[in-house]
Every structure is written in structure tokens, then in C-alpha cells.
Amino acid sequence: MSQRAVLNCLKFSLVATLLLILQPVFSQTKKSTAPSLFPDLESAIEPRRKDLGGDLMVYVANRDTVVYQKAFGDVNNRTQAPAGAASTWFTTALVLQLVDEGKISLDDKVTQYLPVYGSYYKSYITVRHCLTNTTGIKAEPFKTANVHEMARFASLEEEVANYAKIDIAANAGDAYNYNGMGTNIAARIVEIVTKKKFEQLMRQRIFTPLGMRNSTFASDDGSAPNPAFGAKTTAADFIRFLQMILNNGVFAGKQILSEKAVAEMRKIQVESSRMNGVSKAFAGLEQTLGVWAIEGSEKVGASASALVYPSLTGVWPMVDFSRGYAFVLLPKTFTGEQNSNVYMGLKQVFDEKWKGRKNDAR
């Protein structure tokens, strides 16, 4: 074989190898190339940018296609930002995977995995209580500062063991109190059941299958991960997660969650009238399993038609099942407090624009 032929073969092999490596990157989610499908949305965002954080990424998608993406200010597709309280949505999905596999039941008592809780009069707390902020464990009213002032622990095991010593303020299931303790307890149970660390499980089971390459729960200082508030992600990554939820657990042909798990996630667990210590961002919302109902009946057990997880970091991820779209707004930084009226105003603009689009809601 001539030298030229050998070189040509090598070039062909290299190209073929690169195509095989890059194939998953291009096959996950189709993207629209239309320059401005939703100018009304841009017109609504621009005058509100200061209230939304200034520099922010916005993504909109249906079940298989990103139909709109835009950078406002100094951000791009790789700009990573804190997910804040919306981190709980990722953690809930991880817990529900274990429920799908029969390794955990939502109605298991936490003492089945954490016997120390029985020694401190917490024998009636269940995994479901943990994911609905109804553990009854005493906590201060939630504020932005609480997240930054939380004690740093070397591991999730150490942190959750410390929760066992905190006083009970109400019987499990009786009172609602928004804080991250329940989410972190549920995440620790997942570690115990799988014998793996939380951040490893999240990467292997949620982030990697969804192609969320720029998402992590790793802490900057090497302390324990925070399953309730500690994720860092990009808007491009987050929209993939939301598409999976919109598709009843399926993304790019892969079953991440069962349809039953997503249905459970949509069930109203706590009415807004029972909630204590929530910020303005959650005003008027009902608690479902690990996330919030933005549209739906206030009746416990009813299914929400749209889910959202506002965060004090300014991120606003939303899935609208009835209209068939997902939306995420992710600011680079955010120093204020979310005003639900601002975000609901944007949703109304987009709902109006979405009317008449065919084959999106099905």
C-alpha cells in the first residue's frame, strides 16, 4: 500500500472515530435554528432583566426539540450557575429511581435505614415526609442566608446524623416547614441503600444519562454535598432534565424514570394553606413530591398540570404538561428575592405564544 493510501486510511479512521465519539452529543436533543421564534418573550424579559438577575440564559423546549434559546447579557451555553433549591428536583428524581427499582419505598420509615432517629423520637418520619418538608423537625424560617450559614460537615452521613438530635416541632406529616433537611435525609438513605456516595450516584444515574456534562453537586471546599441546595448547572443541561420529566421519564429513547414515578412527582402532597415559612417565590404554590405545582387542583392527591421549582438563586425551571413545553431561566448571579409575579407574567406571555403550535402537547 502506498504512503498516500495509508495516510488516507488513517484520516478516514480518525474521522470515523470522532463521529462515533461525538454521536451522543448530537443525538440527545434536536435544536431549532430559527433566530427568534418568540420575540414577545424577549420583549417581556428585557424590561425585567434587573429583577431576573441581569445576565441570564433562557431555554424553551418541547418533548424532543429545543425551540428557543437566548443569552441575555454576559452568559453563554456553558455558563454554570447555582441551582439553589431547584437542586431538590434532581435529588427527588434520584430517589424515585430507587423506588422504581424496588430498593426504597416512599412510605418506608427512615429508621429502617437510620436507626439513630428512633433514639430521638423520630420513628414516624417516612421518605415521603422527607420529600414534602413535613418531617416535623424544628427549623428556623427559611432565608437566603440560611443556605450560606449552614454548618459544614465532612460527609452527608455526618450531617444527617446531626439532624437526628434536633428537636421535633410537630408530628411527622402534621405540619409543613420548608427547609433542606428532609431532602438531605432522603439522599443519605440512597447512599446507604446503594453503598455509593451521593454525588457519584447523581452523576452516574441522572447527569450522565441525560448528557448534563456541566452539572455537579461537588462542593467548592470539599465539604459534604448539599442535595437540597448544592447543585451547579447550566440552562442547556437543565432543559434536558425538564424534557425528561415532560416525556414521562424518557429522554432520547432512554428510560430515566418510570411513568409511574413522574405521576407520583406530580401529585399534590401539601396545600398552600398549610405552608409555613416559605418565601414570596413559593406564594400560592402547592407542594408535590419534591417539587411544586404551579397549575392544578389544591386537592391532595390531584395531579398538577404544571410543575415548577423557584429558587432564591433566581433559577426558574418549569414543565407544563398540558401545553407540552418546558422552560428554564438561569441567571449568572442573583442577589434579590424571586417575585413569583414576574415569572408568572413571563409564563402568561409564553402560554399565549404557544397557543396553536401543533404536535407539541400530546
Task: Kindly report the number of other CB atoms within 10 A of residue 125's CB atom.
Answer: 25
Express each pLDDT in 67-76 by its tens digit.
999 999 999 9
pLDDT, position 354: 77
pLDDT, position 51: 84
The residue written with cell numbers 432534565 in the block is 241
Residue type, 4: R
pLDDT, position 83: 95
Residue type, 210: L
pLDDT, position 119: 94
Among 122, 143, 145, CA closest to 134: 122
- Whole-angstrom Cα distance, residue 1 to residue 275? 77
Identify the DSSP state of 64. Answer: S
pLDDT, position 144: 45
What distance lies between CA 157 and its chain's CA centroid? 22
First to last CA, the chain: 57
Q: Model-level pTM?
A: 0.87
Cell numbers placing 129: 415526609
- Whole-angstrom Cα distance, residue 90 to residue 88? 5
Residue type, 7: L
Whether residue 58 contacts residue 329, with contact meaning beta carbons closer than 8 Å, is answered with: yes
pLDDT, position 151: 57
pLDDT, position 339: 72
Cell numbers placing 178: 420548608
- Whole-angstrom Cα distance, residue 301 to residue 303? 7
pLDDT, position 208: 98
pLDDT, position 133: 93
Express each pLDDT in 303-347 by its tens digit.
999 999 988 888 999 999 999 999 999 999 876 667 777 888 888
Taking the chain (362 residues) in runs of 10, the rounded mean pLDDT of each run is: 43 36 40 55 85 90 93 93 95 98 98 97 96 90 49 89 94 89 97 98 98 95 93 97 98 97 96 72 84 81 93 91 94 76 83 65 42
Cell numbers placing 328: 428554564
DSSP line for 225-241: --TTT--EE-HHHHHHH
Kindly report the CA angle at 152 between 148 and 155, in degrees rounded to 5? 130
